[in-house]
Amino acid sequence: MKQFLSFVRKEFIHILRDPRSLLILLVMPQILVLLPGFVIKNDVKDIRVAVIDKSRDVYTEMLTQKLYANDYFIGKGEVSSEEEATDLFRKGEIDLVVIFGPGFADRMMHSHDASIQILSDGSEPNQASVRVAYSQQVMAGFQKELAQQMAGAGKREQQFNIRVNTRMLFNPQQRSEVNFVPGIIGMVIMLICCMMTSIAIVRERESGTMEILLASPLPSIDIVLAKLVPYLIISLLDMAVILLLSYFVMDIPMSGSLLLYTFITVIYIFTSLMLGLLISTVVNTQLTAMLISLLLIVPTIYLSGMVFPIESMPVPAQFISNIVPARWFISASRKIMIEGVGMEYVLTEIRALAIEGVVFMLLAWRFFKARLA
């Protein structure tokens, strides 16, 4: 028994002396438990709502004020037409539009029945449904309040009915797979470019072949680029296969420009490759490179907006998500694939990906040169 306990003690000492084992056993479980609890929020808050008021009467004014005063909504003012509203949806400036038709107050007073139309961004089906449901609750509260006012004024109690007609833009059938395909492409590229690149370069160093390559007449930058180009090509092939499967098997169209989508994908691949290169310059073994890549991928899934909307996350999580490359790629992909936007609507995403890629490249080159010194 004493000998057995000595072996147990020896194994504990090995674990405690190995940072990689401690990382797997102690740090990763905490991240897997705490991060979802920190990020996942079922409530949809700060719904940016605009109004198209074709009636301009006291009731539409009252209902608009009730919407703006609700804790779930942020009033974005009035827009003049559905075309302007659609443009604001594409720019990501609004989430919901309430349209009041002509003669809203007359219909409410005489027939006690009126209708409104709600436009919602259907590119995220679950969120769109929740936004519409919250707006319908406001309408129901307004009907009840109006009936109570009539009863308080000594008039015969009336039942008011506001019919809500909902239209989902960009994804009228509310197909969830349309929303997930951009995220899947983003994760596949991250796995190939970040993890496989870092492992491949570290493998060369572990086996001693990196020193032989660096001693060749080729410049060191050419050697590194030669390691990266295959993963660039493989990532583009994977993107093409996923898009073809999405189109022919799942009937998911490419609403926007395929050329623009490919351009943004290349920028995202470049950023992911630079991140993988950066990881390879700060680790010494393939196992460590794989662990760090996996540790990065887990937060990426939660913070990229692939599964949970960024707008519903706590403010600190939203801030951290700004440095996650997949967030910008998935956002741009959804806009191009689902909404069919042009380049002017995804300039923010392009800038963010390009800046992150350059920062990763400069850091990787600095650490790489430090290793050569």
Q: Output the CA angle 29-313-276, nearest 5 degrees.
A: 55
Residues 141-183: tens digit of each pLDDT: 888 887 777 666 555 556 667 888 888 888 877 777 777 888 8
- Mean per-residue pLDDT for 26-33? 68
**What span, in angstroms and rounded, lies between the C-alpha atoms of 311 and 314?**
8
Cα gap 317→326, rounded to integer Å: 15
Domain end residue (candidates: 169, 193, 215): 169
Q: Which residues pair with 100 in a beta bridge?
A: 53, 116
**Strand pairing category for 47-53 and 161-169:** unpaired
Model confidence at 68: pLDDT above 60: yes
241 and 144 housed in the same domain: no
Q: How far apart are the first and last CA of the chain?
A: 52
Domain that holds residue 337: 175-372
Q: Are residues 330 and 274 in the same domain?
A: yes
Is pLDDT of 357 > 90? yes
Q: How confident is the model at residue 58 (pLDDT cuts 50, 70, 90)?
A: confident
Asked if the structure places residue 354 within a domain, the reply is yes
Q: How far is CA 33 from the centre of its chain?
A: 20
Please compute the mean of the pLDDT values over residues 117-122 and round it to a whole number. Answer: 88
- Residue 163, pLDDT score: 83
User: Which pLDDT score, from 0 to 100, does residue 173 have?
Assistant: 78
* CA pair distance 152, 296, nearest whole angstrom: 61
Determine the Cα angle at 365 with ends 361 and 369, to 5°. 175
Query: Same domain, yes or no, for 129 and 180?
Result: no
Do residues 117 and 91 both lie within one domain?
yes
What DSSP assignment string belongs to 318-356? HHHHTT-HHHHHHHHHHIIIII---GGGSHHHHHHHHHH
% of the chain residues with pLDDT over 90: 16
Q: For residue 90, is it within any domain?
A: yes
> 15 lies in a domain?
no
Mark which of 114, 142, 169 sits at the end of a domain: 169
Q: Look at 324 and 110; give whichever has higher pLDDT.
A: 324
Q: pLDDT confidence of 303, banded at 50, 70, 90?
A: confident
pLDDT of 360 > 90? The answer is yes
Query: How far apart, in whole angstroms, are the C-alpha atoms of residue 205 and residue 141?
Result: 67
Q: What distances in angstroms separate CA 9 from CA 4, 21, 24, 41, 90, one per listed residue?
A: 9, 16, 19, 43, 61
Whether 25 maps to a domain, the answer reads no
Shared domain for 261 and 285, answered yes or no, is yes
Buried b (16+ CB within 10 A) or exposed e, 250-277: eebeeebeeebbebbbebbbbbbbbbbb
**The two three-digit tokens of residue 205, written as one number:** 């160093």
Give a yes or no: residue 40 inside a domain.
Answer: no
Cross-strand bridge partners of residue 50 = 97
Is residue 186 domain-shared with residue 232, that is, in the same domain? Answer: yes
- 348 pLDDT above the threshold of 90: yes
User: CB under 8 Å to 204, separation ≥6 — which residues?
Assistant: 210, 213, 227
Whether pTM > 0.85 for this model: the answer is no
Mean of the pLDDT values across residues 200-212? 77
- Position with higher pLDDT, 270 vs 35: 270
pLDDT band for 346, please (50, 70, 90 cuts).
very high
Of the three residues 169, 190, 215, the one that is the final residue of a domain is 169
| Average pLDDT for 27-53 | 72
pLDDT > 90? residue 261? yes
What residues form DSSP beta bridges with 30?
Answer: none
Which percentage of the chain shows pLDDT scores above 70? 86
258 and 112 in one domain? Answer: no
**Rg (Cα) of the chain, in Å, rounded?**
27
Q: State whether 161 and 201 are in the same domain.
A: no
**Residue 160 or residue 365, greater confidence:** 365
Q: Which long-range contacts (CB under 8 A, 24 or more apart) does 210-214 make?
A: 214/372
- Which has the minimum average pLDDT: 205-209, 243-247, 283-287? 205-209
The residue that leads in pLDDT, 339 or 153, is 339
Domain membership of residue 4 (yes or no) is no
Edge-to-edge strand list for the sheet holding 47-53? 73-78, 47-53, 96-100, 113-121, 161-169
Query: Do both 323 and 204 map to the same domain?
Result: yes
Residue type, 2: K
Q: Tokens in use for 41?
A: 């929020």
Looking at the domain assignment, is residue 6 inside a domain?
Answer: no
Q: Is 49 exposed, middle or buried (0-12, 13-18, 19+ CB in 10 A)?
A: buried
303-314 average pLDDT score: 79
212 in the same domain as 66? no
Average pLDDT along the chain:
82
**pLDDT for the residue 232:** 86
Give domain status of residue 278, yes or no: yes
Pair 262, 347 in one domain: yes
Number of neighbouring beta carbons within 10 Å of residue 249: 8
Looking at the structure of the chain, the number of domains it has is 2
| Res 199: pLDDT | 87
325 and 351 within one domain: yes
Closest of 234, 231, 187 to residue 333, by C-alpha: 187
CATH number of the domain within which 99 lies: 3.40.1710.10
354 band by pLDDT with thresholds 50, 70 and 90: very high
